[in-house]
Amino acid sequence: MKTLIITRLAFLSFLFSCLAILAAENARVVNLVATPRTPWNGLVDITYSLECDTPDDAMAVSFQGHDRDWDESVPMTSLTGDGAAGELLQAGGPYHIVWDSAADWPGGHSSEFTVTATAEAKENWPRYLVVDLNTGAITTSSTGPDLSDDTCRTTELWLRRIQKGTFTMGSPDTEVGRFSSETQHQVTLTEDFYIGVFPITQKQFFLVYGSNPSNYQGDTRPVEKINYGILRGESKGAGWPSSNEVDEDSFLGKLRAKTGRDFDLPTEAQWEYACRAGTTTALNTGKNLTWPSQDSAMDEAGRYLSNQKDGRGGYSEHTKVGSYQPNAWGLYDMHGNVRECCLDWYQKDLGNSAVTDPKGPATGTERSDRGGSFFFYAQHCRSATRNKFSPLGSSPFLGGRVALTLTSTP
């Protein structure tokens, strides 16, 4: 719980002043700031961030007002913005809501008004979407897949829900192994989305598409030797970002027909946001590289060129998905194994200006991919590393991961 006493001279002698009081609880509201609009129109902007002892838990936030002059509680129900409708949020922020005090407290004014924000951790919220690839049926789960059972890698497609938020995309100039295309800039994603817990495996691809083009065969290995045309199609599927349509005979076209949901690839920004899972380091394990080629920090993060003799698969090949350490949001193989196709046309310079829901350039000749592969050095597998590929080309290093953007909370 966080309590804010807001003091500020506004219309009708509506006086606000500020004092923050923090309670030590499992879920915490921090950096709570309430600012009345100027000129005063009854609206109050509230920004806040969230902390949780269990970062994977989601949190529900509630707000309560109190008029200290008359010692009366004031309801705060006329809210819009992050968490206002009861949607669950993850640790992070800053989040922003707007309170319409005129609707909840008509004619109200006070020399001292208190806003209290309370966060409640929800341990059993449906974090995961589970697709039965035999029937197309979709269910949800509050816990992640059981890695001891290969069902999650073969006949089921597991996706993790990622809460919307703001992050810094790219890498700092001091990061070992960085490339010039990784200019840092602020990105805000305004919609929650789901993203695959693993890259698409060969069995999953076969159950949807009907064939397996991979060079290195194995049901639980990532599918490769695919491309943008196979995943989305060469006709309608080539229309991104002007259209999110896909060809009916493409992998995603068949997956959409089977499930009734508009599954797609992630954008570059969605991919990096999900990969980082709140980290700002080179790897999503919270570690940086010391050397660009071979580095012990990368050895547990994913399959790459310099750890191919660790017993987790054949030499100079990719390996079973989920064989290395997941990130804080339960996603595997974001570093190495196979490169992953993204929606965007490739643009070398993303600039340093803040952007919201970026979709990449309108046109281009090459598409973006992320994550590096088993045939790449450590520096090519970092969270910020960007790569490109021919939309109709293919290689045993290139695969993909399924995503689903939510335009409204289901």
Q: Which of 100, 122, 144 is the last residue of a domain?
A: 122
3-state secondary structure of 200: coil
In this predicted structure, the answer to whether residue 104 has a pLDDT above a threshold of 80 is yes
| Residues 346, 401 within the same domain | yes
| Residues 70, 136 within the same domain | no
In this predicted structure, the answer to whether residue 169 has a pLDDT above a threshold of 70 is yes
Start-to-end C-alpha separation, the chain: 27
| Residues 133, 113 within the same domain | no
How far is it, in rounded angstroms, from Cα 314 to Cα 377? 17
**Residue 398 and residue 339 in contact, taking contact as beta carbons nearer than 8 Å:** yes
* pLDDT tens-digit map of 206-216: 999 999 999 99
- Asked if the structure places residue 410 within a domain, the reply is no
| Residues 133, 203 within the same domain | yes
In this predicted structure, the answer to whether residue 243 has a pLDDT above a threshold of 90 is yes
* pLDDT tens-digit map of 342-359: 999 999 999 999 999 999
Name the amino acid, one letter, at 49.
S
CATH at residue 270: 3.90.1580.10
* pLDDT tens-digit map of 8-64: 333 233 344 433 333 335 788 999 998 889 998 989 999 998 888 876 677 888 898
pLDDT at 8: 34
Six-digit token string for 314: 């054949």
Q: What does residue 257 show for φ and ψ, rounded to 5 degrees?
A: -65, -35
pLDDT at 133: 98
| Residues 348, 400 within the same domain | yes
| Residues 280, 251 within the same domain | yes
Share of the chain above pLDDT 70, in %: 91
Across residues 176-190, what is the average pLDDT? 96
Check residue 99 and give left, alpha or beta (phi > 0: left; psi -120 to 50: alpha): beta
Across residues 67-88, what is the average pLDDT? 85
Across residues 230-244, what is the average pLDDT? 96
Question: What contacts 24+ positions apart, CB below 8 Å, involve 243-246?
Answer: none
Q: What is the mean pLDDT of the chain?
A: 89
* pLDDT tens-digit map of 290-337: 999 999 999 989 999 888 777 776 667 899 999 999 999 999 999 999
CATH at residue 9: 2.60.40
**Residue 16 and residue 126 in contact, taking contact as beta carbons nearer than 8 Å:** no
Share of the chain above pLDDT 90, in %: 67
Instruction: Report CA torsion sign: 285, 343, 222, 220.
Output: positive
- Asked if the structure places residue 232 within a domain, the reply is yes
Six-digit token string for 407: 């335009």
| Residues 163, 16 within the same domain | no
Q: How is 79-108 classified by DSSP, letter by letter?
A: EEETTTTS--B-SEEEEEEEEEHHHHSTT-
Looking at the 3D structure of the chain, how many domains does it have? 2
**Stated pTM of the model:** 0.76
| Residues 106, 133 within the same domain | no
| Residues 17, 61 within the same domain | yes
66 or 204, which is more confident: 204
- Asked if the structure places residue 160 within a domain, the reply is yes
Across residues 126-144, what is the average pLDDT? 93
pLDDT at 282: 97
Q: Which of 122, 151, 168 is the last residue of a domain?
A: 122
Q: 51-55, 230-234, 250-254 — which is least confidently predicted?
A: 51-55
**Residue 321 and residue 222 in contact, taking contact as beta carbons nearer than 8 Å:** yes
Q: 44-53, 103-112, 188-197, 271-280 — which is least confidently predicted?
A: 103-112
Instruction: Report CA torsion sign: 321, 325, 330, 335.
Output: negative
3-state helix vs strand vs coil in the chain, percent to 5: 15, 30, 55
Residue of 118, 140, 119 whose CA lies nearest to 129: 140
- Asked if the structure places residue 328 within a domain, the reply is yes
| Residues 225, 146 within the same domain | yes
Across residues 60-81, what is the average pLDDT? 88
Six-digit token string for 108: 């109200």
**Residue 219 and residue 204 in contact, taking contact as beta carbons nearer than 8 Å:** no
Across residues 165-189, what is the average pLDDT? 96
- Asked if the structure places residue 199 within a domain, the reply is yes
How far is it, in rounded angstroms, from Cα 387 to Cα 370? 6
Across residues 277-284, what is the average pLDDT? 96
- What is the enclosing helix (H) or strand (E) of 160? strand 156-162
pLDDT at 315: 67
Residue of 384, 166, 175 whose CA lies nearest to 291: 175
**Residue 342 and residue 268 in contact, taking contact as beta carbons nearer than 8 Å:** yes
| Residues 253, 371 within the same domain | yes
Unique residue bearing structure tokens 């707000």: 63
Q: Which of 104, 122, 140 is the last residue of a domain?
A: 122
- My answer on whether omega of the bond before 145 falls inside 30° of 0, hence cis, is no
- Asked if the structure places residue 283 within a domain, the reply is yes
| Residues 341, 200 within the same domain | yes
Q: Give the contacts of 40 (CB within 8 A, at least 6 positions apart).
A: 10, 11, 12, 14
- Asked if the structure places residue 97 within a domain, the reply is yes
> Whole domain around residue 7: which residue ranges?
2-122
Say if strands 355-356 and 185-189 run parallel, antiparallel, or are unpaired: parallel
DSSP conformation class of 337: S
CB atoms within 10 A of CB 318: 29
Confidence of residue 87 (pLDDT cuts 50, 70, 90): confident
